[in-house]
Structure 1
Amino acid sequence: MIDEFLAGDLTDVEEAVRKAAAAEIMPRFRQLAADEIVEKNGPHDLVTVADRLAERHLTASLTALLPGSVVVGEEAVHADLTLLEALRGEDPVWIVDPVDGTRQFVHGDPAFATLVCLAHHGELLASWTYAPALDLMAVARRGGGALLGGSPLRSGSPEPGRDLQVAVSHYDFTTDEEKHVLGKLLTDGVVPRPCGSAGLEYLRVAQGSLDAVAFSWENAWDHAAGLLLVAEAGGASATLTGEPFRIAGGNTLPFTAARDAATARHILDLLASAG
């Protein structure tokens, strides 16, 4: 069933993502009331009514498009951690972040995205990265390339001699040890900065406007869509031990995704030097 589904043009999935954003996210953009914003794990980790309703909308529409599939969504997992077991299960799984960059969304910044990735047996098969306030839709299909607005995406390679531009885990969300390791990127030839929406940072790598990301957390909904997008645009990714990132977790962190394999190796070498 999954092979037959993937053999289609998948435009119904793109339409489902657009409809969820149009119905539940954009009407609330810059219109949120104070009681529609809640802290989850601290003042920087926010969730809104838009996150919850968009995830509910996507859960219904995506499972209807692919009967027998299940959804692992950020907000549902926050309420029930056992849902993560679906990432190791036999059913096709939709990995969903309804509003990636909730802090940006809450503050009226348009740089947020809805992320959807279809996976099976740990393999990333197709992904959608949609920034509704920016009118950007990036789609990737395993072995089929990556598109932005219907045009091919190619990450290319950094220009020789130019400083590498790297987005790293935001300092508001990192431990002292993670800051120490990521601090190894503060060196000649590398210019790190705190990341915004992870999904949009991956899109920038796929476009070639950002050279790499280096992240110290492994939530599948933040990374699955972007990792496939970068891979299909010609980029590379790996964990600190050089292994592929596993969406079910248990990765050696931090990890990187970069415009090409040489850049990924360089970033990992610097991170490993933290000892």
Structure 2
Amino acid sequence: MIDPFLEHVLDGGTTEVEEAVRKAAAAEITPRFRQLSEHEIVEKNGPYDLVTVADRAAEEHLTASLTALLPGSVVVGEEAVHADPELYGALRGDAPVWIVDPVDGTRQFVQGDPAFCTLVALARHGELLASWTYAPALGELAVAVRGRGATLNGRPLRSGSPAPGAALEVATSHPDYTTPDQKRALLALATEGVRTRPCGSAGLEYLAIARGALDATAFSWEYAWDHAAGLLLVTEAGGAHTTVVGEPFRIAGDNALPFTAARDAATAERIRALLASGPAGD
């Protein structure tokens, strides 16, 4: 028997989650935007992997509110998993899972750039059911529900298709977060008809695809909190995603990388084929 709240969400009743996301951002994130002190910013795994007091406080806030909405659910959050990697295994369990990135685009947040967001997705048995992408400094909230479509600030989102003959605009893994081997794989996109740039907030790149402002992404890492919300958003807006070997991306991991999400299936296949081919001259 499906949980009544879970059924409610799948029927399009996402207001309670939207409110929880907005409250967490209002309480813990926006008051600290452009107000951080140096001691409130910490390097996790080097100078490009940052965490702030806002990340940690917002994740704690969301963990409490989301599990209260759906008793028996668990949270897989970026900061909690950093402290205890075993928590990631909940993505393979039976309980409903809230996948949380409290501040996606922490570097932008630290720099005072408004292009950051809070990402929440709801999944069960490895299947994405609903997602919320909230950019408080931009005043944007995108919601997707499996089989029910996607909206931005309450209006339907459709990704559409790239203009025929136009160069594809593709956001790729940022060089600061990319190993030499990953850089080499992504070099396959250095070809006529494709223009690449380093990605910013992954969640906002997925939103750009869903609204038709970006053609595709090519990412070389698979942490669920960065991708779950956006992948459902793109899918429900009419887009597609695939790993380099032609399989759907699995939120629990063990994906063949890189992978792509795109405005339509044809574009996803074009990017996948380029990634699979290797750099020119190989």
Bin of the TM-score, shorter chain as denominator length: over 0.9
What's 2:39 paired with? 35
**Number of aligned positions between the proteins:** 275
Instruction: Tell me by how many angstroms 1:4 deviates.
Output: 4.5
Deviation at 1:7, TM superposition (A): 3.1
| Structure 2 counterpart of 1:98, one-letter code | P
Provide structure 1 residue ranges, at least 5 long, that are not aligned to the other structure.
none
Match of 2:138 in 1: 134
The reply on whether 1:15 has 2:38 as its aligned counterpart is no
Where do residues 84-95 of structure 1 align in structure 2 (5 Å cutoff)? Answer: 84-95=88-99
2:112 to 100, 108, 114: 108
User: 1:8: Cα distance to partner?
Assistant: 5.6
Structure 2 match to 1:122 = 126
Equivalent in the alignment of 2:220: 216
Q: Which residue of 1 aligns with 2:79?
A: 75
Aligned residue identity for 1:40: K
Determine the C-alpha separation between the residues in 1 that align with 2:138 and 2:263. Answer: 23
Question: What runs of 5+ residues in structure 2 fail to find an aligned partner?
Answer: none
Q: Which residue of the partner structure matches residue 181 of structure 2?
A: 177
Letter in 2 for 1:265: E
In the alignment, is residue 6 of structure 1 matched against residue 10 of structure 2?
yes
Which residue of 2 is the match for residue 272 of structure 1?
A: 276
C-alpha separation in 1, matches of 2:273 and 2:21: 38
Offset from partner CA, 1:13-57 (integer Å, 9 cap, x none): 000000000000000000000000000011000000000000000
Match of 1:146 in 2: 150
Quote how far apart the aligned CAs of 1:6 are. Answer: 2.9
Cα separation, 2, equivalents of 1:132 and 1:74: 19
- Does residue 160 in structure 1 map to residue 164 in structure 2? yes
SS for the counterpart of 2:196 is strand
Cα RMSD between the aligned structures?
0.8
Q: C-alpha distance in 1, partners of 2:167/2:47?
A: 33
Render the CA deviation track for 1:85-113: whole Å, top value 9, x for unaligned: 10000100000000000000000000000
Which residue pairs with 1:53 in the alignment?
Answer: 57
Distance in 2, Cα, partners of 1:113 & 1:47 = 14
- C-alpha contact (below 8 Å) 1:5/1:66 kept by paired residues: no
Whole-angstrom distance in 1 between the partners of 2:240 and 2:65: 31
Judged with a 3 Å threshold, the aligned counterparts in structure 2 of structure 1 residues 22 and 4 are, in CA distance, closer, same or farther, namely closer
Q: Tell me how far apart the structure 2 counterparts of residues 126 and 6 of structure 1 sit (CA, whole Å).
A: 7
What is the match of residue 260 of structure 1? Answer: 264
The answer to whether residue 216 in structure 2 is matched with residue 200 in structure 1 is no
CA shift at 1:10, angstroms? 1.5
Cα distance in 1 between the residues matched to 2:253 and 2:85: 13
> For 2:210, what is the secondary structure of its paired residue?
helix
Supply the distance in 2 between the matched residues of 1:66 and 1:176 (Cα, whole angstroms). Answer: 42
Moved over 2 A (4+): 2-8
% identity of equivalent residues: 74
Residue 143 of structure 2 aligns with an amino acid whose one-letter code is V
| Match of residue 228 from structure 1 | 232
**TM-score for both structures, normalised by structure 2:** 0.96
Q: Secondary structure at the match of 1:191?
A: strand
Mapped contact 2:159–2:212 kept (Cα < 8 A): yes
Aligned-pair CA distance for 1:9: 1.1
CA distance in 1, matches of 2:139, 2:213: 18
Determine if contact 1:167/1:193 at 8 Å carries over to the other structure.
Answer: yes
- 1:145-188 CA distance string (max 9 Å, x none): 00000000000000011100000000000011111111111110
What TM-score, normalized to structure 1? 0.99
